[in-house]
Structure 1
Amino acid sequence: MADTAVPTTAPAAVAPISLSSLTPWALFAGFLTLALLYLVGVEQGATALFEGETIHEWMHDGRHLLGFPCH
């Protein structure tokens, strides 16, 4: 059994991702996280960007899941 069906080549090396190319994606992800946190947790009352209770009602179950008090 000297012949094998599996090639014996070495795996390809993975190049590291530079911090300068990762920074814009990290900032974008952070902004989206903060925007979602605002919509779920704070959008209501004095700091409301949207009029009425619509956003509050859409995010109601998410508020309870994340531990935000709302009533």
Structure 2
Amino acid sequence: MSSPTPAQPLVHPVGSARLWWAALAVVGVLLLLTYLVAFDQGAVSRSGMFLHELMHDGRHLLGVPCH
């Protein structure tokens, strides 16, 4: 009868630098979008009333107080 082989530990790669930069970019875009929808009161969205109203409706949709 043969002896069992020892179990090999699972090695998970930490990730490449490219993956970290992509994750950082996604988090940055999400933070910018969160700021624009939740906290911007027209300072950034002065390009027209359409963008301001879109962000205003987004606040109401997410339940963020804006008035």
TM-score range, shorter chain: 0.5 to 0.7
Q: How many residues are aligned here?
A: 55
Name the TM-score, length of structure 2 as normaliser: 0.59
Q: Which residue of 2 aligns with 1:30?
A: 27
Map 1:31-46 onto structure 2 (within 5 A): 31-44=28-41
* AA of the residue aligned to 1:22: L
User: Taking structure 1 as reference, are residues 44 and 53 closer, same or farther at Cα in structure 2, changes over 3 Å only?
Assistant: farther
- Structure 1 position 49, deviation (Å): 2.9
Farther-moved stretch of structure 1 (61-70 vs 16-25): 16-25
**Deviation sequence 1:8-33 (CA, Å, 0-9, x none):** xxxxxxxx682422111011101110
- Counterpart of 1:13 in structure 2 is none
* TM superposition outliers: structure 1 runs of 4+ over 6 Å: none
With normalisation by structure 1, the TM-score equals 0.56
Distance 1:64 1:18, change over 3 A: same
What is the percentage of aligned positions where both structures have the same residue? 48
Q: Any unmatched runs of 5+ in structure 2?
A: 1-12
* Cα distance in 2 for residues equivalent to 1:19 and 1:66: 35
Provide the alpha-carbon RMSD of the alignment.
2.5
C-alpha offsets along residues 11-64 of structure 1, whole Å, 9 cap, x if unaligned? xxxxx682422111011101110111111111116xx23448734312122111
Distance 1:52 1:19, change over 3 A: closer
Paired AA for residue 61 in structure 1: D
